Amino acid sequence: MNIIRTVRSVAFSSIPNRTLSTTRSLSTPSAQYTAFEVNDKTGIATLTLNRPPVNSLNLELLTEMRNCLKDAETNKCKGLIITSSSNSVFTAGLDLLEMYQPQDERVKSFWTALQSMWMELYGSKIPTAAAINGHAPAGGCLIATACEYRVMLPNFTIGLNETLIGIVAPKWFVSAFLNVVPRRVAEQAITQGKLFTTAEAHNVGLVDDVVNTKEEAIAKCEQFIGSFKNVNPYARALTKQQFRIKELQELEQQREKDLQIFLGLIMQPSVQKAMGIYLEGLKKKSKKQ
């Protein structure tokens, strides 16, 4: 891949207890919806989702996320932090427009890219952390739970709300959720399509920490990644793999079947109708604001 390396100085003087550092921006020429930077001092990469207004995950954004993750691993970064450029939305989840009245080839590529992105993030060799600085419904929660650590800002929401849209959270969405939330809480919440407030999410273990600012969230993620500094990276990666291999193999072996189930479900007229009504509701709400 053709990676452009630019060196960009970032003054951290406004952040207490932090020495001056630099970040390298590594970005592919086509990067449109993401910013990817590596802190030269810590070796930690930050992937910032930047697809206004709500970072909904379309095919292009998913592809860029995959490229960033690959860059972080190829460049032997110490870890990866995922965050958002928005002040109120981490990501609104999958772009509903990819699934509403979709084109055949595009929707297949979209779902396949989502599967790949999830497997690469969930199975990543390097430590991963989510600085959740806004709402994280459905696909947003999927990204957060694929990471090893989550810190969230107050008064936002996170969860798997698919049933409220008339769709179903696939098994692999649920499996990562089950890593962090007790089974009974998960079953009740996901069948109800519940979105947890930050405080509720912290209470059930869906997020590990709550802080007030994005800077504090990034610092917490750095702290988590830094906690592995005395651990052999190879031993760490293999140990992580032991915890995650089952879900990864399950999806890898069922990729085509998973795609067909997805297509079968979203192409049902009743599901298309429900999605249309949901989208209309979002648009009406957006116009009122």
Ligand X SMILES: CCCCCCCC/C=C\C/C=C/C(=O)SCCNC(=O)CCNC(=O)[C@H](O)C(C)(C)COP(=O)(O)OP(=O)(O)OC[C@H]1O[C@@H](n2cnc3c(N)ncnc32)[C@H](O)[C@@H]1OP(=O)(O)O
Catalytic residue list:
94, 139, 161-162
152 CB burial (10 A radius; 0-12, 13-18, 19+): buried
DSSP letters of 43-98?
Answer: -EEEEEE--TTT--B-HHHHHHHHHHHHHHHHTT-SEEEEEESSSSBS---B-HHH
139 binds ligand X (CB under 6 A): yes
53 binds ligand X (CB under 6 A): yes
Strand partners, 129: 81, 149
260 binds ligand X (CB under 6 A): no
Q: Choose which of 191, 223, 232, 286 interacts with ligand X (CB under 6 A).
A: 286
**Single-letter amino acid code for the residue at 195:** L
* Residue whose entry in the numeric block shows the structure tokens 């519940």: 194
Number of chain positions touching ligand X (CB under 6 A): 30
Q: How far is the CB of 133 from ligand X (least distance, A)?
A: 13
CA distance 203 to 11: 35
Whole-angstrom CA distances from 175 to 8, 77, 231 are 39, 27, 27
Identify the CA nearest to 172 among candidates 242, 220, 102, 244: 244
Query: Which span sits near ligand X by CB under 6 A: 40-48, 95-103, 184-192, 225-233?
Result: 95-103
95 binds ligand X (CB under 6 A): yes
67 binds ligand X (CB under 6 A): no
Backbone angles phi, psi at 261, to 5 degrees: -65, -45
Q: How far is the CB of 91 from ligand X (least distance, A)?
A: 8
| Nearest residue (beta carbon) to ligand X | 93
276 binds ligand X (CB under 6 A): no
Q: Choose which of 64, 71, 162, 222 interacts with ligand X (CB under 6 A).
A: 162
C-alpha 20 chain-centroid distance: 29
Nearer to ligand X, 19 or 289 (CB): 289
259 binds ligand X (CB under 6 A): no
Q: Which two tokens stand for residue 150?
A: 């989550």
Q: Choose which of 35, 45, 54, 152 interacts with ligand X (CB under 6 A).
A: 54
Q: Choose which of 6, 74, 88, 213 interacts with ligand X (CB under 6 A).
A: 88
Query: Which span sits near ligand X by CB under 6 A: 9-17, 48-56, 68-76, 197-205?
Result: 48-56
48 binds ligand X (CB under 6 A): no
Q: 11-45 burial by CB neighbour count: b if 16+ within 10 A, else e?
A: ebeeeeeeeeeebbebbbeebebbbbbbbeebebb
Residue ranges in contact with ligand X by CB under 6 A = 53-54, 56, 88-89, 92-97, 135, 137-139, 161-162, 165, 167-168, 170, 261-262, 265-266, 282-283, 285-286, 289
